[in-house]
Amino acid sequence: MSRYFTEDHEWIDVDGDTATVGITDYAQGQLGDIVFVDVPEEGKELAKGDEAATVESVKAASDVYTPASGTVIEGNAELADQPGLVNEDPEGDGWFFKLTLSDTSELEELMDETAYAAFVSKL
């Protein structure tokens, strides 16, 4: 399984043609206390870069974009009652949605962990 990152601070874990998407630890730190997450419903078709979810902290509302195209298999239902999971475990239990990828070649444009760490260090 490999993990990729976007410049908008989403991560995507890929296992074959199935992927899980969330926001990075850096992103949750910037947002601060998260109080609401709206995740996409099963069956929703998303093209790379589409607004897929909304995350709201005490301070601001932000859109989350899908790093790759595909069909949503599941949104993380836990986040409805426990939006704070995104602060506590952003790259684990605080995942946003899973999808079936329609074009795995899109992943080639994303950063790997090392490249993302270098990207964040310059912000």
Partner 1 sequence: MSEIVHNGPTDATQARGQAYSGDPDGDADAPAVQHLPLDAWHRARGGRMVEFAGYHMPVQYEGVMAEHLWTRENAGLFDVSHMGQLLFTGEGGADPARALEALLPGDIAGLGEGRMRYSLLLSEGGGILDDLMVTRRADGIYMVVNGATKYDDLGWLRENLADDITINHMDEQALLALQGPKAVDALQRLVPGVADLTFMKAAAFDWNGIPLWISRSGYTGEDGFEISVPASAAATLADALTEQPEVKPIGLGARDSLRLEAGLPLYGHDLDEDTTPVMADLGFALSKRRREEANFMGASRILLEREQGPVVKRVGLLVEGRQPVREGAAVVDGDGNEVGKVTSGGHSPSLNGPIAMAYVPAAMAAPGAAVTLAQRGKVHQAIVTPMPFVPHRYHR
Residue 27, interface with partner 1 (CB under 8 A)? yes
Residues in the interface with partner 1 (CB under 8 A) total 23
Cα 103 to Cα 38, 73, 75, 89, distances in angstroms:
25, 16, 20, 28
**Could you say which residues in the range 64-83 bind partner 1, by CB under 8 A?**
64-65, 80, 83
CA distance 35 to 51: 19
Stretch that binds partner 1, among 40-48, 61-69, 70-78, 110-118 (CB under 8 A): 61-69
CB atoms within 10 A of CB 118: 10
Binding partner 1 (rule: CB under 8 A), the pick from 2, 15, 47, 61 is 61
Residue 58, interface with partner 1 (CB under 8 A)? yes
CB of 52 or CB of 101, closer to partner 1 = 52
Three-state secondary structure along 70-118? EEEEEECCHHHHCCCHHHHCCCCCCCCEEEEECCHHHHHHCECHHHHHH
Stretch that binds partner 1, among 50-58, 70-78, 102-110, 115-123 (CB under 8 A): 50-58
Q: Which residues bind partner 1 (CB under 8 A)?
A: 8-10, 23, 27, 32-33, 35-36, 38, 55-65, 80, 83
